[in-house]
Copies of this chain bind each other. A is one copy, B any other.
Amino acid sequence: MGPRNLATKACLDADANVYAEACPSRAVLALVADKWTLLIMPALRQGPMRNSDLMRRIGGISQKMLTQTLRELERNGLVVRVDHNEVPPRVDYALTPLGRSLAEAIRKLDAWCEAHIDQVEMARQSFDTAIAQKV
């Protein structure tokens, strides 16, 4: 593949490339590059959850962001919303097969964060004190 018109044709499905600005995969990347997506997706791995379940599970999320993020995930085929049409309302959110595969990849990232906090924090401290000394 020559560098001929890499810039113009941006990226085809056959050679999808997130590094290319115009590649549609960037849209998916934007979806993933989101704090709440990174928490909601793996949270749903254990099975369907209700709105209130997720609110409890994910510390610090607001109702607005929960709904907004769920809608976006649903829109992109990663989550299904099941309204049981009951009173009081009962709505379940579950991963689609597509969503499940993404959730697994995301969970690994989350696990990495949990596993390496110590190293990251130590690095940050040493970096910050090094900067302080330079002044």
Contacts and interface: CB of A to CB of B under 8 A. Distances in A.
A76 B20 CA distance: 27
Interface string A22-36: 111101111111110
Chain A interface mostly: helix
A112 B13 CA distance: 13
Given A39-B18, A59-B19, A113 B29 contact: yes
Contacts of A32: 38, 109, 113
A65 interface: no
A117 B120 CA distance: 32
A98 B75 contact: no
The interface centre, meaning the residue of A16, A75, A112, A114 with most chain B CB atoms within 10 A of its CB, is A114
Contacts of A108: 105, 108
Given A21-B60, A24-B121, A117-B16, A128 B75 contact: yes
Please provide the 3 A-B residue pairs with the shortest distance between their CB atoms, ordered closest to farther: A77-B123, A21-B59, A21-B60
13 contacts: A13-B117, A16-B115, A17-B114, A18-B39, A24-B121, A27-B120, A28-B117, A28-B120, A29-B38, A32-B113, A76-B120, A77-B122, A78-B120
